[in-house]
């Protein structure tokens, strides 16, 4: 039997893929933290796309050790990692290459409410695989000039392949949206051409591509079929929120030891990890304005910040569809 091709740099068999089983909604423990030191760094020049478009290849900023994820999410992530780590066994010894000849590529879709750590999870996956990351959003590939958007899509895939990078499309619903069935103008035709090019590039790509979206229902069915790993990243429950409050309030924050996280967890129902981070920042900016012994974070600061965040979720932009 012919040995299947590997997916870029194969993860060594003795490299462990170890994750915490007690983790919740994904957030970084500190907005300023970077991935653990001591790991390799690469000189990563930008790669040029069509019409001078540059796609920056860089080292991932986050690792799984800096994140908290729900157990169900971690099980799905473990499956993705096993797909890479045990590629030779799966597609060689176990014969998956006979039914999935395109198995040299891996596609992952991270979807769920805003603020649950999809972008950070993509970066942590890239770091786990020992790869740099090339992040693309719709503004990077969309062009007002006819024919340039498909060229930019091809250039992004080519740049990722050349660098051995994980290709990451953020806000992917803008790129993987449904094709037009009633084409009446040139713009409709251009959308369909771009979707067709994207489908073709996904079929040809021999690497790892990750998509993230808050609006997965907008995906075209053809893209859904080509992505074997769909990982839902939910809002945290009360127990999870308690862990997030405990871990996200910095240890150096005055007053932290007096704050009951159980009260915060109950009050913050419906909030994501990103919302909790925003509430902590808002509460801290209120506390720092006080002087003397009162210049410390209090439960009142945090509960008022929670109310402000929840009010914004209700009132700004029509509210969140994930909470309806």
Is pLDDT of 280 > 70? yes
Neighbours of 233 (CB within 10 A): 24
Between CA 89 and CA 76 the distance in angstroms is: 19
- Model confidence at 279, pLDDT cuts 50, 70, 90, reads very high
* CATH C-level class of 47-232: alpha beta
- Residue 58 or residue 191, greater confidence: 58
Strands 106-111 and 208-213: parallel
Provide, rounded to the nearest whole percent, the portion of the chain with pLDDT above 90: 57
Render pLDDT for 94-128 as a digit per residue (tens, 0 to 9).
999 999 887 778 999 999 999 999 999 999 999 99
Q: Are domains 47-232 and 238-313 of this chain identical in fold?
A: no
List the single range of 40-44, 145-149, 293-297 with lowest mean pLDDT.
40-44
Is pLDDT of 193 > 70? yes
| Per-residue pLDDT at 28 | 38
b/e code 46-83 from CB counts within 10 Å (16+ = b): ebebbeebebebbbbbbbbebbbbbeebbebbeebbeb
Is pLDDT of 322 > 80? no
Q: Which helix (H) or strand (E) holds 287?
A: helix 273-287
Work out the average pLDDT over 135-163: 85
Render pLDDT for 221-258 as a digit per residue (tens, 0 to 9).
999 999 999 999 999 889 889 989 999 999 999 999 99
| Per-residue pLDDT at 231 | 96
Q: What is the CATH number of domain 238-313?
A: 1.10.8.60
**Given the structure tokens 């009050």, which residue do they identify?**
267
Render pLDDT for 32-75 as a digit per residue (tens, 0 to 9).
333 333 333 333 334 444 444 568 899 999 998 888 888 888 99
* Cβ contact 118:111 at 8 Å: yes
| Per-residue pLDDT at 71 | 87
In the chain, where the domains are located:
47-232, 238-313
Average pLDDT, the chain: 81
């Amino acid at each position: 039997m012919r040995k299947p091709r590997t997916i870029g740099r194969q993860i060594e068999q003795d490299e462990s893929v170890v994750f915490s089983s007690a983790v919740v909604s994904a957030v970084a423990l500190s907005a300023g933290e970077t991935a653990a030191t001591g790991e390799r760094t690469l000189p990563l020049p930008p790669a040029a796309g069509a019409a001078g478009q540059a796609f920056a290849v860089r080292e991932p900023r986050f690792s799984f050790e800096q994140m908290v994820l729900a157990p169900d999410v971690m099980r799905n992530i473990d499956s993705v990692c096993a797909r890479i780590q045990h590629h030779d066994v799966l597609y060689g010894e176990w014969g998956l290459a006979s039914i999935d000849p395109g198995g040299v590529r891996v596609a992952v879709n991270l979807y769920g409410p805003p603020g649950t750590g999809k972008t950070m999870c993509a970066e942590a996956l890239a770091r786990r695989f020992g790869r740099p990351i090339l992040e693309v959003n719709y503004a990077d590939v969309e062009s007002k000039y006819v024919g340039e958007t498909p060229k930019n899509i091809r250039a992004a895939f080519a740049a990722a392949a050349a660098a051995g990078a994980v290709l990451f499309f953020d806000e992917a619903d803008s790129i993987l949206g449904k094709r037009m069935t009633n084409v009446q103008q040139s713009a409709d035709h251009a959308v369909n051409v771009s979707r067709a090019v994207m489908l073709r590039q996904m079929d040809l790509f021999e690497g790892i591509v990750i998509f993230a979206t808050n609006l997965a229902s907008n995906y075209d069915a053809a893209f859904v079929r080509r992505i074997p790993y769909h990982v839902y990243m939910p809002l945290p429950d009360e127990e999870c929120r308690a862990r997030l409050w405990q871990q996200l309030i910095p240890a150096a924050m005055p007053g932290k030891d007096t704050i009951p996280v159980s009260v915060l967890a109950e009050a913050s129902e419906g909030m994501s990890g990103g919302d909790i981070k925003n509430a902590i920042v808002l509460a801290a900016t209120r506390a720092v304005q006080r002087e003397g012994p009162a210049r410390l974070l209090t439960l009142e600061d945090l509960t008022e910040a929670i109310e402000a965040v929840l009010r914004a979720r209700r009132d700004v932009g029509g509210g969140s569809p994930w909470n309806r």
